Structure 1
Amino acid sequence: MGMKKSRMISCLLCCSLCFVFMQVILHRLLKPRLDTKMTEEGGSSTEYLSHANIERFLRLCGNASLPVFLFDEYILQQVLASPNNMEIKNRTCKFLCNKQLVTSFAITAEKWLPEHKVHSFIKESVKEGFTSVISLKSEHWNSHLESYSQDPSHYFFKRGGHIIHLVVLYEIMDKSWWHGAIVMDAANEELQEYHSYIHASRVGVFAGLVDKFETVQVKMDSISVNAPRYPKWTLAQMNNSRYIECNHTQAKLFYQKYPLEETERMRTFREQAINLLRKGSAILDGLGVRFWLSSGTCLGWYRQCDIIPHTTDVDFGIWIKDYNKKIVPSFLSHGFSLDHQLGKVSDSFQLSFKYGDVKLDIFFFYEEGEYMWNGATQVKTANKYKYYFPRFTLCWTMFYVEKVRVPCETQSYLEANYGTNWWEPVKIWDWKKSPPNVRENGQWPEEEWDDVIQIPDS
């Protein structure tokens, strides 16, 4: 009786082990197909597919010794919303299981593969189940070659209804990373097929520029991932990273039509203006005050990728909502002198500093309906003026090795201030009459003159 019972238990145990073994085999064979099928049918399957794709992609990169890191705004937002940040130790797939069509990673250009090895990497990705890989190049100005170059910028690895987006970041001036914009090619049928996927990626809709940041390896949803050490700071960078370059081809055409006969005075002014630009940028950045190149300085950057050599000042714009009462004392403590302070914070505020022989004019901008405007005051008469601009946003650019902001809608900004003939150089300019966007705005009451017209030592 005991022998029969023992044989029966052994038989049941063997059957159970065989059943478990068959389940494991079937799971491995059918899971990729089920993931894909479920994704195509919609529902929450994309959540699990994204996790599986990320795991496969990171394994692929690990085998190739490629230190990719998370560069995804959506996931970083989820991280910030989590009380424990990235170290989630329970079984919930919190970050990498999501319904986003695209998950973005990045790698620096010096760590990315040379072109002749990329093809092998793509072949390995096919073995991992990625059915389609698209690579895109972006054009940017190479200051060393003094010409534009086309460099790898974006790769898309598709599996099922989900894409892994790899962004290649290029170093600029030792402290920033640049990536190109995703440019759709109407002739590329495969690219057009995945148009919705590519534009679902929040990275690459525009070219971007971010300050370099540290990464750290973390365990995220049971997967080891390199991620930004400080997610909040990195996310803020990514959310405000849109980048535009001055048009060097346009600048060459400008100088061909209007050759520059540079004098010693012009060379001296450019050197002093660049120095002032760097110092002014450092002061305002230190205060956390957003500013952009405005007026003639913006025109020089956009039209000729240079400071206009026959001008006498540098121009910044600042939102009045970003005004900081520490601005004046900070400039004074860094060797600037206050040339004048006009208007008041609530109306037509303007500051002007001098550093050596060069003046820095800071115009404060106000919002009014569909427009933005800055004000000016004529010192002799106390007459007020308004300069109206269509609404604009801010982009980053590089100008004489400085990372500074400019209006993204640069041409409409300049046309408001200089008209449609902004291309043509003008040496005689009346700030009260020449700009097409200037409007007379009354006169300051005489009892306010001492407050709204402040000129030290006058």
Structure 2
Amino acid sequence: MPRMSRSVVIALLVTASCAFLLFQLQNHRKHASAMHVLGQNGRRTHNAQWHAVKRFLGVVRRLALPAFLADPAALQLITQDASPRRQEVAGCSFLCTGRRATAFAAIAGNWKYDHAAVTLAAAQSGLEVVHVRGRDPRLVVLGGEDDLAGAAIPLHFLFRSERGHIVQLVLLYQRGRDFLWHGPLRLQRTHDRGLAPPGLLQYGRHAGAYERVELVLTVLDGLDMRVPRNTSHFLFQRSHAHFLECRHGNARTFLQLYPDDPSPAAAEFRRGARSVLALAASTLRALGVPFWISSATCLGWYRQCGFISYSRDVDIGIWVRDFRPDMVAAFRHAGLPLKHKFGKVEDSLELSFQEVGGVKLDIFFFYDDNGDGDVVWNGGTQARTGRKFKYVFPRFSLCWAELAGVLVRAPCTTLDYVRANYGHDAWATPITTWDWKSSPANVLANGAWPPSEWDNVIQLY
């Protein structure tokens, strides 16, 4: 084989090097093109949420709807950045959370709903809208004819952009005198349910209750909108907003079988009980102490959506860890002086307050011995003998409820709570003779206070 000249070898090497460089350049271009597409897709996803919110705010302006940002993920970002500033759209620091849905809310009291107007405004902004309606529980009247055929109200709107992003609008209605309520989200049609797979939307599985929300106008990611002034408090409320509706149908059936006492004395008790409950709620709210309706007051709410006229007092529960020494002074200042104090903070504490001639308020403090056990309990003391009693309940969490127009908490597993106290089935039948030491299904003897402690643990006023 003839030997190649030096120049030929050099030419071949140069040719190979150029081919390799061209190959590398082609791969680089392919990689750069792929990264460019990825970046475009990322921005497209990033902007889909922002554009959907922008279009939704156009609907809000057309309808003069007082909406505000209620999205937990976005509000959390605002909480971390205590002073939201005008942002460039490309930055999208608050609204582009990466979720497929963004939540807003509106206080609906002064806004007149018009199905056609909402649909038209959505279409003009390039959005598809689903109207979710439900019964208005504020119109239910116990003991009377219940014709709610025309009582449906809008509860939620779902606005969907062509890119698939959903803006959920939750409507808040005033309930009672001091709180806002939204209904549950119940999608009826297959098409509507396909818009919002389980877990996508932040509001709607349960009804919710909130204190009044103070709003401020601000600019987020270049868009003018209202947000809660205290975002941290609103987020806290949202995480504890689960609201239990009174069982109006069951209560109506019960009251048909066992009509409420129509006497003036019973009517006066119900009026006084409502007043005392409202006073307790406002006093404890000012102290930052959560409470729930307990004993006969809880039974009355669950069974008949009202007070049990023959119970003659109002019963509430408080976790002993929430006890505050200034509680007695706060109730005295509110017009409810201390009537008796049993037990001590460490064991079986019970306080009762009563204005002369008024309805008595009993506060039972609940204990959680194990911290994560299956049961909790409150105590009782017999003043004459110093005997102690314990009332055991299955562990429970708290939900909001409404009793006589007052926002209160109740055990979320209310039936289990009521059954523990009154028996598996006995709770459903009125029992007018009741001995607190022996009648409750969950009462246990718990020893006795030593006489040396009586001056401290048995105080009557």
Q: Equivalent residue of 1:310, what SS? A: helix
Q: Tell me the residue number matched to 1:451.
A: 456
Cα deviation, residue 366, structure 1? 1.2
Q: Cα offset for 1:108? A: 2.5
| Aligned residue among 119, 122, 125 for 1:125 | 122
Answer yes or no: is the 8 Å Cα contact 1:44–1:99 preserved in 2: no
Contact 1:46–1:162 at 8 Å: present in 2 too? no
Partner of 1:355, secondary structure, is coil
Which digits, 9 at most, give the CA deviation of each residue in 1:329-353, with x for residues without a partner? 2222333232221111111111111
CA deviation vs aligned residue, 1:121-163 (integer Å, no higher than 9, x gap): 3244345443x43221122323487645321101111222421
Aligned-partner SS, 2:136 = strand
Query: Are the structure 2 counterparts of residues 323 and 221 from structure 1 closer, same or farther at C-alpha, using a change threshold of 3 Å?
Result: same
Contact 2:277/2:314 (<8 A) preserved: yes
Aligned residue identity for 2:99: Q
Letter in 2 for 1:158: R
The whole-number CA distance in structure 1 between the counterparts of 2:139 and 2:295 is: 25
Aligned equivalent of 2:47: 48
CA contact (8 A) 2:182 2:207 kept: yes
In structure 2, what is the equivalent of residue 87 of structure 1? 85
- Determine the structure 1 residue equivalent to 2:27: none
Query: In 2, Cα distance between the equivalents of 1:447 and 1:222?
Result: 70
Partner of 2:399: 395
Residue 180 of structure 2: aligned partner: 177
Cα pair distance change 1:228/1:249, threshold 3 Å: same
Contact 1:294 1:315 in 2 (8 A): yes
CA contact 1:349–1:364 (8 Å) conserved in 2: yes
**Cα distance in 2 between the residues matched to 1:326 and 1:154:** 42
Give, in angstroms, the shift of residue 44 of structure 1.
Answer: 7.2
2:130 to 129, 134, 137: 134
Show CA shifts across 1:315-339 (max 9, x none): 0110111111011122223332322
Larger Rg: 2
Identity between Structure 1 and Structure 2 (%): 37
* Partner Cα distance (1:184, 1:62) in 2: 26
- Give, as a single letter, the amino acid of the residue that structure 1 aligns with 2:248: H
3-state SS of the aligned residue for 1:279? Answer: helix
Give the equivalent residue in structure 2 for 1:158: 160
What's the CA shift for 1:365?
Answer: 0.8
Matches of 2:164 and 2:44, distance apart in 1: 9
Rounded to whole Å, the distance in 1 between the matches of 2:135 and 2:333 is: 42
Letter in structure 2 aligned against 1:60: V
* Alignment-mate amino acid for residue 98 of structure 2: K
Corresponding residue of 1:99: 98
- Residues 393-424 of structure 1, C-alpha deviation per residue, up to 9 Å, x if partnerless? 22222222222222222111111111122110
2:366 aligns to what SS in structure 1?
Answer: strand
Aligned to 1:7: none
Consecutive unaligned residues in structure 2, runs of 5 or more: 1-36
Residue in structure 2 matched with residue 250 of structure 1 by the alignment:
250
Tell whether 2:446 aligns with 1:436.
Answer: no
CA shift at 1:192, angstroms?
A: 2.9
DSSP 3-state at the match of 1:284: helix
Equivalent position SS for 2:271: helix
**Alpha-carbon RMSD:** 2.4
Give the TM-score normalised by the residue count of structure 2. Answer: 0.83
Unmatched 5+ stretches in structure 1: 1-33
> Given the two structures, how large is their TM-score scaled by the length of structure 1?
0.83
Q: What CA distance in whole angstroms lies between the structure 2 residues aligned with 1:127 and 1:447?
A: 79
Greater displacement, 59-68 / 428-437: 59-68
Question: Which residue pairs with 1:67 in the alignment?
Answer: 66
Q: Residue 99 of structure 1: SS of its match in structure 2?
A: coil
Deviation sequence 1:273-331 (CA, Å, 0-9, x none): 22222222222122111111110011111111221111221101101111110111222
What is the rounded CA distance, in whole Å, between the counterparts of 1:110 and 1:275 in structure 2?
25
CA shift in 2, pair 1:284/1:438, >3 Å = same
* Cα distance between partner residues in 1 of 2:43 and 2:428: 54
2:432 to 418, 427, 431: 427
Number of matched pairs: 411
CA shift, 1:262, in A, is 2.5
What amino acid does structure 1 have at the position aligned with 2:335?
G
Compared CA separation, residues 298 and 70, structure 1 to 2 (3 A): same
Q: Corresponding residue for 1:383?
A: 387
